[in-house]
Structure 1
Amino acid sequence: MAQGEWPLAPQPEVVRRFDPPDAPWGAGHRGVDLAGRPGQVVHAAMAGKVAFAGVIAGKPVVSVDHGTTRTTYEPVAATVAVGDPVAAGAPLGRLGVAGSHCFPNACLHWGWIRNADDAYLDPLLLVDAPQPVRLLPLWRTDPAP
């Protein structure tokens, strides 16, 4: 059951899905990329408190703490400050192009992290997004390992 809201409105196209790494240091995609427009307002997926609003590795980032989890949004020029309470759907800032995973196009990299162990989660689970269909081949009678 969905517990959050899409951070871009209207509901955006998912450009790249979540692909967790096999190891904490491994390759993967620790969030999802959502198609957007430069300057588009980015909204909090869930209610919480702004934990970070600044620049990391040259990219503007906003992070919202939700208690047991936090969501991250980049590249987003913040209109909120650390410590600000935000409601679900509240504006956090505006989407940029510099630092975009989809450069030269604008897209929002949206992440979801469990605070207890810093494990990355699929943020699409927050919004009832359609998940890819996984089917077994017809020639197998049992699941592949």
Structure 2
Amino acid sequence: MNIRLALRASSIGVVVGLSLSTAVASAAPSDFTWPLQPKPRIVTPFDRPDQNWLPGHRGVDLAADEGRPVLAVADGTVVFAGSVAGKPVVSVDHPGGLRSTYEPVTASVTAGTRVRRGTVLGSLASGHDGCSSTCLHWGIRRGREYLDPTALVRTRPIRLKPVDGPSR
């Protein structure tokens, strides 16, 4: 997805441009929300490796207390709720070919369950490697390509509005 931001201040002739390119799905950001509420602190950011076989961080780690409810980030269908390599995991398929994953989560849903954005999927368990305290590893992928999940929940762009009064 390409995001372009242009600010124009015609009275002083300034134009500022910004272009970001991030691999995300063709989904409206308003369709997605954070898997923890309120918005959590990111402990470890997304770090896509240059090649699929290289090390990287294919998701984000979010700080939270053990037992905290973990929410579906968008409407979809639970496709997995169980253990992977001894860790409790929940995966949800969303329209547009996206799959969200949450680990470690003790599931309160089962495979085949249809969920809406904000539905409780389970509770956060302890034991995610790489976090000194309890945290949720949240990932998004399309097919085999891992994407930055925070790109789906970024805040709306800042919009400048005219201010009454003398121009500067």
Distance 1:98 1:54 in 2: 15
Identity rate of aligned residues, in percent?
50
Say whether the 8 Å CA contact 1:110–1:123 is kept in structure 2.
yes
TM-score, length-scaled by structure 1: 0.83
- 1:109 matched residue in structure 2: 137
Q: How far did residue 24 of structure 1 move?
A: 1.1
Which stretches of structure 1, 4 residues or more, deviate above 4 A after TM superposition?
A: none
Stretches of structure 2 lacking an aligned partner (at least 5 in a row): 1-27, 157-168
TM-score, length-scaled by structure 2: 0.72
Q: Deviations over 1:62-91 (max 9, x none)?
A: 000013110000000000000000000100
Q: Deviations over 1:96-116 (max 9, x none)?
A: 11235314x11000000002x
C-alpha distance 126-14 of structure 1, shift in aligned 2 (>3 A): same
Distance 2:129 2:74 in 1: 23
Q: 1:49 aligns with which of 77, 83, 101?
A: 77
- 1:134 matched residue in structure 2: none
Q: How far did residue 23 of structure 1 move?
A: 1.1
Q: Is the partner of 2:82 in helix, strand or coil?
A: strand
* Corresponding residue pairs, total: 127
Q: Which has the larger radius of gyration?
A: 2
Instruction: Specify which structure has the higher proportion of strand.
Output: 2
AA of the residue aligned to 2:108: T
- 2:94 matched residue in structure 1: 66
Aligned-pair Cα RMSD in Å: 1.4
